[in-house]
Structure 1
Amino acid sequence: MGPGTICPWRGPLPCQVWTWIEPVVASTQVATSLYDAGLLLVVKASFGVEAFSNHSTSLSPRGAQEDQQQKAISNFYIIYNLVMGLTPLLSAYGLGWLSDRYHRKISICVPLLGFLLCRLGLLLKVLLDWPVEVLYGAAALNGLCGGFSAFWSGVMALGSLGSSEGRRSLRLILIDLILGLAGFCGSMASGHLFKQMTGHSRQGLVLTTCSVSCAACALFYSLLVLKVPESTAKASKAVDMVSGTTGSYRTLDPDQPDKESVVEHPPPPGKAKPKETIIALLFVGAIIYDLAVVGTVDVMPLFVLREPLSWNQVQVGYGMAAGYTIFITSFLGVLVFSRCFRDTTMIMIGMVSFGSGALLLAFVKETYMFYIARAVMLFALIPITTIRSAMSKLIKDSSYGKVFVILQLSLALTGVVTSTMYNELYQLTMEKFVGTCFALSSFLSFLAIIPIGIVASKQASWLQYGDSAES
C-alpha cells in the first residue's frame, strides 16, 4: 500500500480513496456531536417542565428549582452513562475477535448500526414526546452493538494497518483531527438546529433528524464503499531494543531512517520481555488519565448550565465546539513534537496540558475564563492517541482488534465508575465549591505522569543496553 493510504492528500491511486476511514469518522462524529448536544438540551427541557409544574403552587426561589433540575439531570446521566458504559462489555471483545479472525469491517459496521438505533431513539422521543427513560433503552441497544469501544478499536486497527510504523502516530492523530473538526462543526450548528422548531414537544426535531441522517450515511458508506487496506508493515523489520520492533520507543520522527544493519542481540535474563512491562505501564497511565478526562467531560455540561455561567442553547453548542479545538492543536502538537521528542515525552506534555487546564477550570466564574481554561488544554488529546500508537508498534497486526478493544473497554469501564463518582461528587459540592471535580481531575492527570515516567526511565536503560550490545 503506497503513501496514499498514509496521507490521503498524497494518494496517487484513486482506488486507495476507498480505504480511507476518515469519511466514516467524520459523518459519525457529526452525528454524535449533534446527538450529545440534543440529548443534553432535550433532557434539560423535559426536567425543566416537570420541575416548574411540580413547583407551580409553591414559592420556592428560582435557585432551588435550578438545583432540583440539576440533580434530576445528573441522576439521569448517572444511569445513562452506566448503561452506555457497561453494555459494550457483553459484545465489544467478541466483535474485536471476529474482526481479527474474519473481517475488519465487523467491528465498524455493527457499532454503526447501534449508533443509528440510538439516535433514532432520541428522534422518536422528540417526535412522540416519550418519557426520557426511553433513552436508557436506546443506550442499551447502542452498547449491545459494541458501542464506541468496538467502533473506535476498529477505526484504530484500520488506521494502523494503512500506515508505516514511522508515521503511525501522525496517521492516528490525523484521524483524531478529522474527528475533532467534524465534532466542532456539529457542535457549532447544534444550538441553532435545536431552536428551529418551537414548542416543547417538537423542539429539537431538526437537530435529531440531522443526527440520524449522518449516522445512516456513515453506516451505508462503511457497508458499501469502505475497503480494508493491506498492511504496510515490512516483512522484515530492523530490531529495536524492545522485543524486536522497529523504532517503537526510540523516536516518533518519521524522517529517521530504519537501522537495517543493526544485529539482534538477546537481552539478559532479567530483561527478557520488557514489552509486557511497557504495555502494562501504558495501560495504567491511560486508565488514570482517562479517569481525569472522563470526569471533567461528564461534569462540564452540568457546570455550564447553572450559575455562575448559566448558558443558553447556542452557548452550550459553542462551548462543546471549543472542546473540539483540542483535536486541531493536538494534531499540530504531534506534528511538531514528533520531530524532537519521544513518545513518552509527548504523552507527559499532553497530561500536563490537561491537568493545568482542569485546575484553571475549577476557579471559573465568567465565560471568558472558561475559554481560557479550555485553551490551556490544547494538547490534551496527545496522551491516549500516542499510547495507542505505541502499543500498535509492540503487537502483531493480527491482534490489533483484540488489543485495541481491551484498551477501549478498560477505558470505558473506568469511565463508568468515574462518571458515577463525579456526578455524585458534583451534587454534594455544587453548593460549596463547584470546582471540586475539576480540581480532582487535575490531580489525577498529574498522577498519570508517574507510570509514563517509569516507561521513559526503563526505556533509557534498555536503549543503553542495546547500544552496548551493538558495540
Structure 2
Amino acid sequence: MGLGTICPCRGPLPRLQAWTWVEPVVASTQMATSLYDAGLLLVVKASFGVGVLSNHSASPSPPGALENQQQRAISNFYIIYNLVMGLTPLLSAYGLGWLSDRYHRKISICMPLLGFMLSRLALLLKVLLDWPVEMLYGAAALNGLCGGFSAFWSGVMALGSLGSSEGRRSLRLIVIDLILGLAGFCGSMISGHLFKQIVGHSSQGLLLTAFSVSCATCALFYSLLVLKVPESKAKPGKAVDTVSGTVGTYNTLDPDPTDMQSVVRHPSSPAKAKPEKTIIALLFVGAIIYDLAVVGTVDVIPLFVLREPLSWNQVQVGYGMAAGYTIFITSFLGVLVFSRYFQDTTMIIIGMVSFASGALLLAFVKETYMFYIARAVMLFALIPITTIRSAMSKLIKGSSYGKVFVILQLSLALTGVVTSTVYNKIYQLTMEKFVGTCFALSSFLSCLAIIPIGIVAYKQASWLQHGDIAEKGRS
C-alpha cells in the first residue's frame, strides 16, 4: 500500500512525516553538549590544578588553601567563558531568526550546529595538542557568532510549534525537551568513564571529546541532508486574533478544542490587542526572573561538587550532571498529567515552587545523598520555561515564531551572562563562610518569579468571568 493510498472511510491517508522530526537533531546535539560540558569542566580543573600546585609547591599552605585557589581559578575561567558564550550570539542570533522566518526555517538550526561542531573540535585539539586553556575563549566566540544555543533552540521551538496543533503544543514542546533530557542523561552518565580512558599515550579526555565531536557532526549533517520543515498545523484565524466573549485574550493560553468550537467569535478591536501585549510582557518577566534563578544554580553546582564537603571525582561529576537531566523526564510526565487538569499558568507556578524548594535544600547539602534528594525535589523545574514558550506561541502569528522565540532566548542569554558573573563572584566571596548562599538566593528569585505569572492567572480568571457575564447578557 502506497503512502498516498485512499482510505474509503477517512479519505487520503496522511503521508509519513518522519523526516520532519527535529528530535534526532536535538538528541545528537545534546549528547555532544553533555559530553562537552563534562569534559570542559574536568579539563579546566586539570589545567588549573597543575598551575595551582606548581605555584604553591615551594611554600606550605594551610589546609584547603590550594582547593580554594583552584576554585577561584575555575570560577574566573567560567566568568569569562560564559560572558563570551552569552554576548557573542547577540551579534547574529536575531539575524538568523529573521532569515529563518523570511527564507528557510533550517537556517537558524544549521548555522548554530556548525558553531557547535567547531567549538567541540577546539576542545579535542586542546586535549590532543595540550594547547593553553585560554584558547577555549576563542572557540566560545566562534560558537556564539554562529548563533549559539539561542538561535538553535529558537529554531527547534519554531519547528516544533509549526508541526503541532495548539491544543497539543505544550505537550509537543515538552516532548522535545524530554528527548534533550534523555540524551543529556545518557551523555553525562558515560562522560566520567570516557574521560578516564587513555588511548595509547594520549592524555585523559581524548576519547570523550572525540565522541562529542562525532555527535555534533552527525547532528549537522542530519539537519542539512535529512531534516524537512513541517507544514503548519495551526488553523487559520485561530489563536492569533484577539477573541472577545467567553474566550478572551487570556484563554488562548489554554485552548480546549471542544470549547473553542462553541465560541462565537467577534471582530477584534485595537482595545483588545493591548491586554495581549501585557500578557506577553508578564510572561517575559516571569521567564527572565526564573531563568536568573536556574542559570545561577546551574553555574555554581559544578564548582560546589568539586570542593568539600562533597569533593567528587570524574565519575561522580558525570552522575551528578546526569541527575540534573532527570528533570526533563519528570517534567515531561508532569506536563502529561497536569495539562489535563490545570491551565498553563498553574503548571508554570508548580514548576517554580518545585525548583525553589529544591534550591533551598541544596543550600544545606553536606552529603552526596542529600544532593540527590534536593535534585529529586526539583522534578518539575523544566515546566515553567517550556510552558511559557508554548503560551507565547498561542498569542502570536506562526510567521513570527522565529523572531519572537529568538528574542526570548536572547533575553534569557543576556540575563544569564549577568547572572553567571554575579553568582560566580558571590560564590567566591561566600564559599568559606556559607557555601550554599547562591542556592538560597536562587530559591528566593524563583519565588519572586511567581508574582508576574500569578498576575497573568488572575487576569485570565477575571476575563473568563467577565466573558461569562457578557455571554449571559447576550442570551
Same fold by TM-score, threshold 0.5 exceeded? yes
Deviation at residue 266 of structure 1 after TM alignment? 5.8
Q: After TM superposition, give the deviation of residue 144 of structure 1 in Å.
A: 0.1
Q: Is the 8 A contact 2:252 2:395 kept in 1?
A: no
Unaligned runs of 5+ in 1: 3-11
Partner of residue 6, structure 1 = none
Matched, 1:75 2:70: no
Aligned-partner Cα distance in 2 for 1:27–1:316: 21
Which residue does 2:306 correspond to in 1? 305
Q: Deviations over 1:304-329 (max 9, x none)?
A: 00000000000000000000000000
Counterpart CA distance in 1 for 2:216 and 2:203 is 21
CA distance in 2, matches of 1:396, 1:214: 34
The one-letter amino acid paired with 2:319 is Y
Question: CA 1:424/1:159 → structure 2, altered by over 3 Å: closer, same or farther?
Answer: same
TM-score, length-normalised on structure 1?
Answer: 0.94
| Distance in 2 of aligned mates of 1:238 and 1:65 | 59
Residue 20 (structure 2) aligns with: 19
1:93/1:150 contact within 8 Å kept: yes
What are structure 2's unaligned runs of at least 5 residues? 4-12
1:405 maps to 406
- 1:219: how far off? 0.1
Please say if 1:323 is aligned against 2:351.
Answer: no
Partner of 1:154: 155
Contact preservation (8 Å) 2:29, 2:216: yes
Counterpart residue number, 2:348: 347
Decide whether the 8 Å contact of 2:242 with 2:273 is kept in 1.
no
| Counterpart in the other structure of 1:461 | 462
Match of residue 123 from structure 2: 122
Contact 2:250 2:279 in 1 (8 A): no
- AA at the equivalent of 2:97: G
Paired position in structure 1 for 2:435:
434
Q: Which residue of 1 aligns with 2:212?
A: 211
Distance (Å, rounded) in 1 between the aligned partners of 2:233 and 2:259:
15
Residue equivalent to 2:10: none
Per-residue deviation, 1:268: 8.5
Counterpart of 1:395 in 2: which secondary structure? coil
8 Å CA contact 1:19–1:227 kept in 2: the answer is yes
Q: 1:214 to 1:248 in 2, by over 3 A?
A: farther
1:104 aligns with 2:105: yes
Report SS of the residue matched to 2:64: helix
Query: What amino acid sits opposite 2:231 in the alignment?
Result: E
Q: Is the 8 A contact 1:238 1:261 kept in 2?
A: no
Report the AA paired with residue 312 of structure 1: N
Matched to 1:217, the amino acid is C
Aligned equivalents of 2:90, 2:204: Cα separation in 1? 34
Q: Contact 1:22/1:178 (CA < 8 Å) preserved in 2? A: yes
1:273 corresponds in structure 2 to 274
How far does residue 264 in structure 1 lie from its aligned partner after superposition?
2.4
Instruction: Answer whether contact 1:238 1:260 (CA < 8 A) is retained.
Output: no
- Partner residue in 1 for 2:364: 363
Decide whether the 8 Å contact of 2:120 with 2:213 is kept in 1.
yes
Give the Å deviation of 1:213: 0.1
How far apart, CA to CA, are the structure 2 residues paired with 1:254 and 1:264?
14
- What amino acid is the match of 1:167? R
Does the 8 Å contact 2:164/2:233 carry over to 1? yes
User: Is the contact between residue 327 and residue 381 of structure 1 (CA under 8 Å) also seen in structure 2?
Assistant: yes
For residue 263 of structure 1, report the CA deviation from its aligned partner.
Answer: 1.9
Instruction: Find the counterpart in structure 1 of residue 223 from structure 2.
Output: 222
Letter in 1 for 2:45: K
Measure the CA separation in 1 of the matches of 2:38 and 2:233: 39
Contact 1:48–1:69, Cα closer than 8 Å, also in 2:
yes
For the structure 1 residues 246 and 189, does the alpha-carbon distance in structure 2 shift closer, same or farther, using more than 3 Å as the test?
Answer: farther
The corresponding residue for 1:7 is none
* Inter-partner Cα distance in structure 1 for 2:269 and 2:234: 28
2:49 maps to what in 1?
Answer: 48
In the TM superposition, residue 15 of structure 1 has moved relative to its aligned partner by 3.7
Spell out, residue by residue over 1:243-263, the C-alpha distance to the aligned partner (whole angstroms, 9 max, x if none).
Answer: 799897538778751433422
Distance 1:409 1:129, change over 3 A: same
Q: Distance in 1 between matches of 2:467 and 2:273?
A: 13
Asked if the contact 2:245/2:467 (under 8 Å) is kept, the reply is no
- 1:265 and 1:13 map into 2 onto residues whose CA distance is 33
The answer to whether the 8 A contact 2:293-2:442 is kept is yes
Residue in structure 2 matched with residue 58 of structure 1 by the alignment: 59
How many angstroms apart in 1 are the aligned matches of 2:246 and 2:470?
A: 16
Structure 2 CA distance for partners of 1:391 and 1:188, relative to 1, 3 Å: same
| Distance in structure 2 (CA, Å) of the matches to 1:47 and 1:258 | 60
SS in structure 2 of the partner of residue 229 of structure 1: coil
Distance in 2, matches of 1:72 and 1:365, equals: 23
Please state how far the C-alpha of 1:415 moved relative to its aligned partner: 0.1
Contact between 1:358 and 1:373, CA under 8 Å: does it hold in 2?
Answer: yes
Amino acid at match of 1:216: T
Q: Deviations over 1:162-211 (max 9, x none)?
A: 00000000000000000000000000000000000179961100000000
- Quick check: 1:265–1:469 contact (8 Å CA) kept in 2? no
User: Amino acid of the residue matched to residue 356 of structure 1?
Assistant: S
Do 1:91 and 1:144's aligned partners in 2 also have CA atoms closer than 8 Å? yes
Aligned counterpart, 2:9: none
SS at match of 1:259: helix
The superposition leaves residues 370-424 of structure 1 with CA deviations (integer Å, 9 ceiling, x where unpaired) of 0000000000000000000000000000000000000000000000000000000
Residue type at the aligned position of 1:371: Y
Per the TM alignment, residue 265 of structure 1 is displaced from its structure 2 partner at its CA by 3.8
Q: Which deviates further from its counterpart, 121-130 or 55-64? A: 55-64
Contact 2:249-2:272 within 8 A present in 1 as well: no
Identity over aligned pairs, percent: 87
> For residue 426 of structure 2, what is the aligned residue in structure 1?
425
Letter in structure 1 aligned against 2:436: G
Is the deviation greater in 289-298 or in 264-273?
A: 264-273
Contact 2:239 2:252 survives alignment (8 Å): no
Mean CA deviation greater in 47-56 or 230-239:
230-239
- Deviations 1:325-375 (Å, cap 9, x if unpaired)? 000000000000001100000000000000000000000000000000000
Aligned residues: 461
Distance (whole Å) between structure 1 residues aligned to residue 342 and residue 30 of structure 2: 30
* 1:5 counterpart residue number: none
User: Aligned letter for 1:373?
Assistant: A
The separation in 2 between residues aligned to 1:373 and 1:200, in whole angstroms, is: 40
Compared CA separation, residues 248 and 461, structure 1 to 2 (3 A)? closer
Q: What is the alpha-carbon distance in structure 2 between the residues aligned to residue 215 and residue 246 of structure 1?
A: 44
Query: Mean alpha-carbon deviation: is it higher for 237-246 or for 267-276?
Result: 237-246
Q: Deviations over 1:127-184 (max 9, x none)?
A: 0000000000000000000000000000000000000000000000000000000000
User: 1:17-50: CA deviations, max 9, x gaps?
Assistant: 0000000000000000000000000000000111
Amino acid at match of 1:43: V
- Contact in 1 for aligned 2:249/2:275 (Cα 8 Å): no
